[in-house]
Every structure is written in C-alpha cells, then in structure tokens.
Structure 1
C-alpha cells in the first residue's frame, strides 16, 4: 500500500497496561493467525464484521486483509474492495466514501486511515494501549481504548479531546451518533451497573448520564437522528430506549421471559420505527417502537353482586403489585422475529431499506450474510430470502454442513465462557436487569 500521510504517536498519559483479559484475547488471535489450520478457512478467518453508518455497505476484517461489500442490491453481493495486505481486526468505512479506518492484528495499537480506491494510506496514529473500537461520522473519529477515548476531527485527524480514566471497558463498547446536529458519543459510565455516559462530541462536553440498567452494559446504539439511544445489559432480557436529551425512558422491551442471553448488537431502522436485537441465541427480535400516548383505562359499568365485588378486588390489588412485576406487565414484546440457522456465533444485525424494501440483515462471524424480509404492517416470522458468502464465492454450502465451523468460532477470544454456554441455558429473569 502506498503511504501518502504522516505517522503520529498519541501518548498523553503514558503507556497503559493491557489487562490480562485483553492481552489473552489479542494473544489468542495472534496465535490463531499464525496457525492456519486452527482458523476456519470458509470465512477467510473472519476477525470482524461491521455495517457502515447507513447500512449501505459491509466491512469484513480477516486474517488476510479486509473486504468491503456494497448492499445496494441483494441479487448479488458486490465486492467493492479486497485489500489483502495484512490481518485486520477492525475495519470501519465512512458512509459510502473511500475513507476507511483499519487496525491490524499485528499492530493493535496503531490506527491507519486509508483511501481504499487509491490503495493508499492517508495517515496513521499510535496509541498507548490496544485499540478496542473505532467509530466514525462526518465530523468525528473516535478511538476507544480500555480506559480512555480519543476524539479526532475527521477533516485533519487532529486530537480534539481525550476522555481519560473511564471505567474499565475491555470490550471497547461505545456508540457514535451519525447525525450532524446531534453528534453524541455514548460509553459505559460504570463497569458494575448499567450507566450510559453521553458526551457531546461536537462541543466537547459531557451531556448526561443515564442510569439504564442494574447490570453492566452489553450493547448500546443511537438512532439516525441522535435523539434516542437503545441499551441492553449483560442479563440480556430487557432492552430499553431512552431520550438522549432528557434521559427519559421511552420504551421497555422484553426479548425473553425465561432465558438470559448475551446481546451482540442493537440497531434502529433508518426511520426509528423499529429496533432489532441479535444475541447468542438463534433468534433476532424486531420491536416496533409505537408512539407513546397517554391512555385512560376504559370505564366499566359497575356490576352488582359477587362479580362486581371480584372486579373491584382485582383492580385494587393490581395497584399493590411490586414495581418489577408492574414493569414486566407493561413491557413491549417482539413485533417480528428472525430464526437463524445457528446459535452461539458472534453476529451483527441491521434493518435497512434496499431496493425500496425493508430487510433485516444479519452478518455472522462464520463469513455469511443473511437477508430476511420484514413485513412492516403485520410483523411475525421473517423469511430468509438471500444468503451470501463473504469470501467472494456465492453459495453452495448448506448451513447444516457447516456446523463444525461454529464450534471453532465459539472458542475465539471475543466470546467468554459465559457467552459459549448461555445459548442453551435457561435462567430465572428476576426483577433486576
């Protein structure tokens, strides 16, 4: 790759110490990368899969480089970039531009900003610790380390602000809104409870802290306008949607009654009418975010005798229900569901409008993209309409033939032992989420 830019070292605070968990993850990946036989070859040894900001393309990082696919049509998956320079554990594209941010497994502390159409490197930055996440919008580029976040001006890549001493965030969980008007950054405000810290990345000041869950956060996602944020905790039973401006809870959505899960991804539809959630189970839940309206209970004509007394007794007792029980009764259920042909494999979901049709997209770490129809009027079960391989070869393998591949992927460092066992485990929900 031709280099056109500069190399910058971001030190500010000295060299950090990689925690044992992160160190084991990177070391594990490097070991797998060195052992071709230990990596699944069907997906090209997939290390990361990400949709761009408007779900118009898909980036795949592998042990032999990265690939970018256009999602403008689903008849055929169009490969628009196949860069085979080095093992890639993070690849993020800026909308439909030629700019991509890349982190390699061999240099996990270095960020490269590249022009993929010219096959050139614009600049690179080195950080004091392992890069765990990178987020982009049209104004900002954010780099997430375990205990700090760096906010760059995307026009010249200058560091505008550094958020230091954040709670330990070994998974690099963060979200950056794509709105020009509401340029907000979200990250965990605690590693023991589910606090969401919202930071104004445009004006470089803290905005609000939202107490979202009792358990630590597992997933967060902004809607397209940056006015709402969806959250899920490590328990994985309840998903909540909050107003970014006031921190008010707008929706509470339950993905399951008896089964805890590890939520992998949350994504709003472009119009914010739907929210999808994928996990380590075989089900992707799609929720319809109804407009909140104040409703009054219907006036029931008073009945006489025993039935009248029972009606009054039931109505009165309902007001004494514990708050967790009352909350559970008011939680929204899934409007539609996707049943995946696998479970336990890391994946990312999205709701996109492709060729004027609303589709649910699920890209999995085994190197496949699944496309499902979504009936926006009736909901129900979503139908698989297309399946694409992400190694440039369409086709021929049935999911059942590839089950052994999933057992390999379960052992990759992104998933803890808890991730690998929760898929088939029933747990009591309880009131705290």
Structure 2
C-alpha cells in the first residue's frame, strides 16, 4: 500500500502470487512463477495488463515506482539479490546483493529501501548508490517497514522492538533518527503512511485496534476498533490518496474502511488519549450517543471500559467471497467515484463501490481474475537458496532481460538509464499511439489482378 502504497505482512499469503498496488494506486503489480506482471486500472472499473515479463523466473517481490518504467524485483532463485530494471526497454539497470534474504523493497521518488531481517539499506533512487545502512535492528522476520510516498517528508518506519509495538521513524533524506512512537503493547504487524507523509497507521498482533499518529509530533490522532469478539491478523493498511479513509484487510472475509475525520475515534481538537470527541451530527446515532455518554462520564468508568467504548468503528465494510489468501487494499477514485479495490494472492481483483456519504456495506461491482494461481500454491516469502538454486542464480532473471549488461555500463550510462526509467509514463487515453496493441490489425493488400481483356466484338 500501502495507497497509496500500504504495507503488508508476509507469511499470511496462502496463495502463490505476490500482489501490491503502486504508490498512487494507478496500477497493480504481481509476481508469479512465470515472472512479474503490471496491470493498469481503467476508468470503467476494469483492469488491463500493460506488461508481462514471461521470464519463467519465480518472482517473490516486485514494486513499481508510481507510473514510471522503473521496477524493482527479487526472485526465488536469488532471494538476496535486488534487480532494478527498465521494464519498457527490457533492460537491467543494476543489481545489488545483500548478506541475507530480502524481505521487502520500498520506493519513492527519492529513495529505495531494502529491508532484511536485521538491517535496512537506503539507496539514492537517482544513482542507486547506498547512502546509509541501519544495522542491528530488532529481529524483523516479517520484513515490516514502510516508506512515505512523499519526498518532502521522506520517513521510514520500522519496528523498534520485537516484544512490544514500538515504531522507529528514520529520516531517509537527512539520514538521522526522527522519533520513536509507542504504538501498541504487542508487536507490530502492519504499517502504512499517508500520501502526505505526516500520518502513520499501525496495527499489532492482536489485530483489534488500529491507530493513526502524526509524525514527527507522535500525537495519536485516531484509534479504531476493528472488532470486539476475535483477534485477527491484519494483512494490510492503506490510506486513500485524499487522506480521508483508511482500509484494513485481515485473514477474515471482511475488509474494513475507517473514515478519518474529527470525532471519528480521534484525538484532534484537544481530546484526551483514547477519547472520541463525537461530531455534532453523530449525536443522533446510537454510537454517537454512547460516545457522548462515555465522554461525559469517563471519570466514573474503569479506564479500559471507557477506552473501548470511545474507539471509532468502521465507516464501511466489504465482504470477500472467499478467505485464505493474502489480500491488499487500495482506496481510489474511478471516474470521480470512490472505489475500494482488493487484490488477493489468488490472482483476483475485487472492485467495490464506496458510499462517501453513508458508508455501510460496499457493493461488489466487478471481479477480475488477472492471474491464475498455481495449483499447488506456496507462500511467496523469500527463503534462503538451496544449493541447486544458488547454482542457478548466475542464470537467473538478469539473464532473461534484454539489453546492456549492467556490470559493463559506465556511470553515465547507468545514470541515463535510470533517468529514462524514472520518467512518468504518459496518460493512457482510448488509443495510445506508442502502443502497437492499440493499432488496428494491418494486412498486406493482395497483389493487383490484371484487368480482363476486352471481349472481341
């Protein structure tokens, strides 16, 4: 995502396809046993494949930088190698090898972050040089980290503890620690930045409470309760581009959407920690009345009871037809109408209508099977290579790419390739003159037949 670019947890993927939306939710990226695929989201709630690598290399991680041609990938056969390529040219720009398995890769227009279990590596996106390494981080087997999409607030969030829900915030431009947020009592499982880079959403292993903090002020702005009865595993948190909504997927069939406004489980306007200052129009509702009653009588209630009653509830929800597959969500506008998009590791994209005024149950509009999951799907978490995989790594995905060998590129050539890849793709209209697939089929004209001789009179 998480939208805009939400962070997901690995390990809950019961399917064989890695799926993720790009930073501005204009496209969907997928890694499968055949390579990686890029899909554009169309104005008619459809999906269109714009690229398929067809390399035959099992791709376990892939991320695209906004709508540019720059793609970062990691394959199962070489889980310690990051490959950066220009997908339109089919060229590999560079590759880097690390001491351990790559668990996550995050991009924005300024930085590229590579997350290992006990370290983070920060690259300059313009030349891919390593600027800084955060070493000896707490054990992070999930590869949990989030990079703000905004270069003006270019923050990296990652777990500061493996025992409690502490979040470390690092400034990836000035290369210094920014702040520490004590978000939860139990370890973190999900993180997501808003598009402005000033709000951070968090969830813990309990899966019942989702919180939103302001950065770097560390103020808790919102607190939402996903449910009361059962603990679940949060798989993805994702802000809408406008910053007004937050979506959460889990290992259940329900996708929750929370509205971020004053009084919706928030602490803005001077409300104390855990309070929900209900909006005036909410007073007429049952939950609004409870919220006002809790606020008025908080001193007479046990602290834990008051906190639970004051937490915000979901504004809208969508039901997935099936569970058991890792799911990522995005909230965007399609033809100026808000949409909730949910992509699963089974290779299915669900498009739901989101009622911005009333919320409630989201209606399923479209369902797209964009890829077929392998019959014996496996979790696409990177793993240490076997001896056979290590021997094959020399002929891995890099050999399948066309064009220049990155090891033989000069610095200026690499900079030129990176500059070309970083350019945003032009907006696609009904017909794209640069795309041969948008031209009508052309057939060679049949050879001219000689005119028949005039009949004798």
User: What TM-score, normalized to structure 2?
Assistant: 0.72
Q: Following the alignment from structure 1 to structure 2, what is the Cα–Cα distance between the partners of residues 81 and 367?
A: 16
The answer to whether the aligner puts 1:231 opposite 2:212 as a matched pair is no
Aligned to 2:379: 412
* Residues 184 and 201, structure 1, Cα contact 8 Å, conserved in 2: yes
Aligned to 2:320: 340
Aligned to 1:268: 239
Once the two structures are TM-superposed, the CA of residue 342 in structure 1 deviates from its matched residue by 1.2
Cα deviation, 1:200-222, whole Å, max 9, x if unaligned, reads: 00110000000000000010000
Cα deviation, 1:66-116, whole Å, max 9, x if unaligned, reads: 100011434431111100111100010000000000000000000000000
Alignment of 1:110-121 (within 5 A): 110-121=81-92
Aligned to 2:330: 350
* Residues 66 and 91, structure 1, Cα contact 8 Å, conserved in 2: yes
Match of 1:216 among 173, 177, 187: 187
Q: How many residues align?
A: 347
Alignment of 1:134-145 (within 5 A): 134-145=105-116
Aligned to 1:370: 350
Once the two structures are TM-superposed, the CA of residue 327 in structure 1 deviates from its matched residue by 1.0
Q: Following the alignment from structure 1 to structure 2, what is the Cα–Cα distance between the partners of residues 169 and 366?
A: 26
Aligned in 2, Cα 1:157/1:315: closer, same or farther, shift over 3 Å?
Answer: closer
Aligned to 1:64: 34
Aligned in 2, Cα 1:257/1:75: closer, same or farther, shift over 3 Å?
Answer: closer
Aligned to 1:54: 24
* Residues 103 and 381, structure 2, Cα contact 8 Å, conserved in 1: no
Match of 2:362 among 360, 379, 382: 382
* Residues 187 and 196, structure 1, Cα contact 8 Å, conserved in 2: yes
Aligned in 2, Cα 1:80/1:237: closer, same or farther, shift over 3 Å?
Answer: same
Cα deviation, 1:129-171, whole Å, max 9, x if unaligned, reads: 0000000000000000000000000000000000000000001
Match of 1:158 among 129, 141, 144: 129
Match of 2:47 among 69, 77, 85: 77
Q: Following the alignment from structure 2 to structure 1, what is the Cα–Cα distance between the partners of residues 179 and 210?
A: 19
Q: Following the alignment from structure 1 to structure 2, what is the Cα–Cα distance between the partners of residues 127 and 280?
A: 31
Cα deviation, 1:361-401, whole Å, max 9, x if unaligned, reads: 10000010000000011100000001111128xxxxxxxxx
Once the two structures are TM-superposed, the CA of residue 344 in structure 1 deviates from its matched residue by 2.5
Aligned to 2:95: 124
Cα deviation, 1:278-336, whole Å, max 9, x if unaligned, reads: 00011000001112345889xxxxxxxxxxxxxxxx99974142322211111000000
Aligned in 2, Cα 1:235/1:414: closer, same or farther, shift over 3 Å?
Answer: farther
SS of residue paired to 1:328:
helix
* Residues 237 and 256, structure 1, Cα contact 8 Å, conserved in 2: yes
Alignment of 1:79-94 (within 5 A): 79-85=49-55, 86-94=57-65
Aligned in 2, Cα 1:128/1:231: closer, same or farther, shift over 3 Å?
Answer: same
Q: Following the alignment from structure 2 to structure 1, what is the Cα–Cα distance between the partners of residues 297 and 225?
A: 24
Root mean square deviation, CA, Å: 2.5
Q: Following the alignment from structure 2 to structure 1, what is the Cα–Cα distance between the partners of residues 296 and 256?
A: 34
The structure with the largest alpha-carbon Rg is 2
SS of residue paired to 1:319:
helix
Aligned to 1:282: 253
Q: Following the alignment from structure 1 to structure 2, what is the Cα–Cα distance between the partners of residues 79 and 275?
A: 27
User: Which consecutive residues of structure 2, in runs of 5 or more, have no partner in the other structure?
Assistant: 1-9, 263-267, 272-276, 279-293, 383-457
Once the two structures are TM-superposed, the CA of residue 414 in structure 1 deviates from its matched residue by 5.4
Alignment of 1:99-110 (within 5 A): 99-110=70-81
SS of residue paired to 1:388:
strand
* Residues 335 and 379, structure 1, Cα contact 8 Å, conserved in 2: yes
User: What TM-score, normalized to structure 1?
Assistant: 0.76
* Residues 72 and 355, structure 1, Cα contact 8 Å, conserved in 2: no
* Residues 74 and 386, structure 1, Cα contact 8 Å, conserved in 2: no
SS of residue paired to 1:235:
coil
Aligned in 2, Cα 1:74/1:103: closer, same or farther, shift over 3 Å?
Answer: farther
Once the two structures are TM-superposed, the CA of residue 353 in structure 1 deviates from its matched residue by 1.3
Once the two structures are TM-superposed, the CA of residue 255 in structure 1 deviates from its matched residue by 0.7
Q: Following the alignment from structure 1 to structure 2, what is the Cα–Cα distance between the partners of residues 375 and 198?
A: 34
Q: Following the alignment from structure 2 to structure 1, what is the Cα–Cα distance between the partners of residues 315 and 336?
A: 21
SS of residue paired to 1:366:
coil
SS of residue paired to 2:309:
helix
Q: Following the alignment from structure 1 to structure 2, what is the Cα–Cα distance between the partners of residues 316 and 74?
A: 48
Aligned to 1:395: none
